Structure 1
């Protein structure tokens, strides 16, 4: 089971992306738990995640989250703005898997 956490400003703008990522994971036969939270919940949710992807509108938070992610032993990155804008669940899923060393 791959636990993929997405963080965005309010936790709502990524809900469609979560659905698209889940569809892509199912098509690939990858068992996942994917969820999105608002920026103020991201740090506490990291303990349940294998990877953290940050919405492009929050790229300024990467340094803040990096310390907590490093302590938790999870990779993190900013979601590609083009993939985010296109709601390209497959591309974002592939990035998450790559960060986890699964691709």
Structure 2
């Protein structure tokens, strides 16, 4: 099962996007575990297949990549984040992971 972790300042603002992504995954029959957390907890998610940073913490990208060199770490597209387009974000994750 694919594990996707979204990180933002406190893990709160990405919660709505997580719900939208879960809805999209369910509609597509894509089995995954998606959760939201504070970017300060990044080191706790070494087992994640994909780590996505909210646009508001994109300045921490290099830091998170350095903490988790074995993980795929990217910033969520600002437009998709603002529109809470869970399907687009999930589609991007699947493309990057080759799912």
| Bucket of the pairwise TM-score, normalised by the shorter protein | over 0.9
Q: How does 1:1-103 map to 2 (within 5 A)?
A: 1-45=1-45, 47-70=46-69, 73-102=70-99
Which whole-Å CA distance do the structure 1 matches of 2:22 and 2:75 have between them? Answer: 19
Aligned-pair distance for 1:69? 2.4
- Alignment deviations for residues 72-103 of structure 1 (CA, whole Å, 9 cap, x no partner): x221110000000000000111111122122x
Question: Which TM-score applies when normalising by structure 2?
Answer: 0.94
- Alignment deviations for residues 10-29 of structure 1 (CA, whole Å, 9 cap, x no partner): 10001110000000001111
Aligned-pair distance for 1:48? 2.7
CA contact (8 A) 2:9 2:39 kept: yes
Which whole-Å CA distance do the structure 1 matches of 2:79 and 2:64 have between them? Answer: 22
Which whole-Å CA distance do the structure 2 matches of 1:48 and 1:86 have between them? Answer: 28
Root mean square deviation, CA, Å: 1.0
Q: How many residues align?
A: 99
